[in-house]
């Protein structure tokens, strides 16, 4: 099962938390982060990063279902 990751560039404030938590999933590009790949194998670290993002800029989906950040 693959998931998709997205980062809202308008919301991201470049804290780098996501890239520190999962550098193979997220990377900083200047003062904004971006997913390394939009489609990833299921990986709880992506959801953890979405939960940890202070700007709630990361969205993780399993198909059409949003699984991160958790409510
Ligand atoms: S944790 Fe959120 S605000 Fe920080 S770099 Fe990642 S996406 Fe941007």
pTM of the model: 0.96
Indicate the number of domains in the chain.
Answer: 1
The ligand 1 atom nearest the CA atom of 15: 4
Element housing 18 (H / E) = helix 17-21
Residue 31: give the domain boundaries.
2-66
Out of 5, 6, 7, give the residue to mutate to test ligand 1, the one with the largest number of ligand atoms within 8 Å of its CB. 7
Tens of pLDDT, residue by residue over 41-67, are 999 999 999 999 999 999 999 999 999
Q: Give the separation between CA 8 and CA 58, rounded to whole angstroms.
A: 7
Task: Examine residue 71 and state whether it is found in any structural domain, yes or no.
Answer: no
Locate 56 and state its tokens.
């709630």
Confirm if 52 and 6 have CB atoms less than 8 A apart.
no
Distance (Å, whole) CA 12 – CA 5: 14
What's the CATH number where 28 sits?
Answer: 3.30.70.20
Residue 1 has pLDDT above 90, yes or no: no
Whether residue 55 is contained in a domain is answered as yes
């Amino acid at each position: 099962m693959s998931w998709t990751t997205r980062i809202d560039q308008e919301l991201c404030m470049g804290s780098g938390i996501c890239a520190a938590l999962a550098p193979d999933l997220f990377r900083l590009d200047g003062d904004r982060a971006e997913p390394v790949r939009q489609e990833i194998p299921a990986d709880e670290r992506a959801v953890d990063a979405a939960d940890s993002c202070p700007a709630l800029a990361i969205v993780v989906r399993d198909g059409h279902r949003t699984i991160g950040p958790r409510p």
